[in-house]
Structure 1
Amino acid sequence: MRTNTLRRGLVALLTAAISFGAIARAQAQTQQESVLRIGYQKYGTLVLLKARGTLEKRLAGQGFTVQWTEFPGGPQLLEGLNVGSIDFGVTGETPPVFAQAAGADLLYVAHEPPAPSGEAILLPKDSPIRSLAELKGKKIALNKGSNVHYLLVRALESAGLEYADIQPVYLPPADARAAFERGSVDAWVIWDPFQAAAEEQLQVRTLRDGQGLVSNHQFYLAARSFAEQHPEVLRTLITEIRDIGTWVEGNVDEATAQVAPLLGLSPAITRKAVLRQGYGARPIDPAVVRAQQDIADTFTELRLIPKKLAIADVVWTPPEGIAQHAE
């Protein structure tokens, strides 16, 4: 009798343990699915959105928490998206092209207006170089696959040069600045706020910025799986980004004061970068798709990406009832 009772007790205990384990796994899975993981860089609207905390409050009502991860550049951020460490992020024009070519299952969700002066080809203040044509044979530092990669290609074309005419030195921003200051490279192609910091701290000369050459859109991108499963979260997210952008346009000084300590830069440097940025996240339209297709085709022709891409295939179309407009 005692043996049967003991056996029944052990079976009950084992059953309870299995049930508890299943519940714990289900709770863990639910918790994991309820986290929005955002990748951001040391610039832009997402920095302010992170600091304000309004997104967290909005998404709490939808059962989501927010996790933020900083990346040094767009290519690194989209690699994070590709391997599944983030669900959403912001980059310049070129990183999504390289990421799509590498097989990343991403979707363009929204974009900011053009900001062509927010990236430039910089020279040391005592450089003898005076024209784009004089870049022939020179070492130029840039982050491969970043927005400035396309700026460099277009700038060289405007001077009658080919990409093969220069010596690209592929470095992330911090390493590129170090190489630039050492004199290991002849020029540096970079974006804000690194661009603004170099202008103020190093007294660099701007050989050419993006005006008249590139749009320098910022793109908000999501992992396809997240976009398909949680379109209402993306709608809330883009609404918050748009609202922050509208506020910045009317409150540049206050925005500068908030962003400067987050970036670890002076108010003067930060204000310059804030003023050069585009604000007002909006849906991807056919004109923007064509512009991105031109970028993709350019890098295919240069054999920097291995195949022709179709940008239209990776543009998010919200399901019916989930419109991309401010609430």
Structure 2
Amino acid sequence: MPLPPALPVSGSTRRRWLAQAAALTGAVALPAAPVRAAEATPLRIGYQKSSTLTLLLKSRGVLEQALAPRQIAVSWHEFTSGLPLLEALNIGALDLSADVADAVPPFALAAGAKLTYYAIETPSPTAQAIVVRKDSPITRVAQLKGRKVGFAKGAGAHYLLLEALSQAGLSIRDIEPAYLNPADGRSAFENGAIAAWVVWDPFLAAVQRQSGARILVDGTRIAAYRRFYLAATPFAQRHPEVLQRVYEELQRAGEWVKKNPAAAADWHAPALGLDAAIVAAANERRSYAVRPVDTESLAEQQRIADAFSGAQILPRRVAIQESPVWRPA
């Protein structure tokens, strides 16, 4: 069964998601080394433009070379956001997902998706923040009371806002929410239509450098902001050895990005449509340290799920511990 959207979306948007996912079902990759089509096992990987480590593997043909001897044919499929990517995993149109923000898996699981956690990036709490304009009189989160705040509904930024408000003695009912994607959020922020914007890198680095936005509070001691990698559970069960190799290559990619910040920024900037200096600033705040999924990261997944269900944003309560977890050898 297709995964019903956890967030309200228009009929046209949902049809576009499903059409994209359905189109992937018959996709065939061209591996770096010859693989006989009759014997090849497909490995369909979904990613976004911001999927730094996965894009690095794609650009270098690393997985094609590593997996060709195992008769694995790799194909790559780009998505614009995390929720439709996980929907494609659930309906069998993808096998692996690149990283998604920590708030995304609970929404997919609440809608019944059969997903396996297979890796995380360690916390990057400063890679998302609540920002105000440089001339704003607002200096504390408590001063957001009664004001309009922009953020993407269901994103990690949404969870950051919920927790920051709670620590300031407020709730989401004390502000005027404006649900905006990053492009619309940037426009509303710069035009003064919202008093504050909750956003993540590289959009955060861009608005800081280009508009002089001031950070009101970031995720430090509020929201850890881990990135999660997921697999379709049937694929994870059938091919643990493939997950092992992908995991190892993601680790190597993360180490390269942190050891070569200038080269990594120069490489990724054109794909993002940003200056290399902005990408470098964003990469500085991102850990890119790929690790096994541990109990601490799953505990925070549960806290995120509980926060969203408590705010009546999730359709039902999610028990994260019921989701399978692949662990490296």
TM-score for both structures, normalised by structure 2: 0.83
Instruction: Confirm or deny that 1:51 pairs with 2:59.
Output: yes
Q: Equivalences for 1:7-18 in 2 at 5 Å?
A: none
Q: Name the counterpart of 1:312.
A: 321
Q: Name the counterpart of 1:102.
A: 111
The answer as to whether partners of 1:41 and 1:73 remain within 8 angstroms in 2 is no
Deviations 1:277-309 (A, max 9, x none): 112211111122212112212222222113222
Runs of 5+ in structure 1 lacking a partner?
1-26, 319-323
Instruction: Confirm or deny that 1:35 pairs with 2:43.
Output: yes
Q: Name the counterpart of 1:252.
A: 261
- 1: distance between equivalents of 2:274 and 2:246? 27
- 2: distance between equivalents of 1:107 and 1:206? 35
Q: Name the counterpart of 1:266.
A: 275
Q: Name the counterpart of 1:161.
A: 170
Change (3 A) 1:65 1:197: farther
TM-score for both structures, normalised by structure 1: 0.83
More helix by share: 1
Q: Name the counterpart of 1:231.
A: 240
SS at match of 2:142: helix
- 2: distance between equivalents of 1:46 and 1:147? 20
SS at match of 2:291: coil
Q: Which has the larger radius of gyration?
A: 1
Which of 61, 64, 79 is the equivalent residue of 2:69?
A: 61
Q: Please say which of residues 93-102 and 38-47 is displaced more in the overlay.
A: 38-47
Deviations 1:88-141 (A, max 9, x none): 221111110111111111111111111000001111223232211111122222
The answer as to whether partners of 1:193 and 1:270 remain within 8 angstroms in 2 is yes
SS at match of 2:256: helix
- 1: distance between equivalents of 2:133 and 2:234? 45
- 2: distance between equivalents of 1:81 and 1:70? 13
- 2: distance between equivalents of 1:263 and 1:114? 22
Change (3 A) 1:141 1:206: same
Aligned-CA RMSD value: 2.0
The answer as to whether partners of 2:102 and 2:226 remain within 8 angstroms in 1 is yes
Instruction: Confirm or deny that 1:184 pairs with 2:201.
Output: no
SS at match of 2:134: coil
- 2: distance between equivalents of 1:108 and 1:165? 35
SS at match of 1:68: strand
Runs of 5+ in structure 2 lacking a partner?
1-35
The answer as to whether partners of 1:72 and 1:172 remain within 8 angstroms in 2 is no
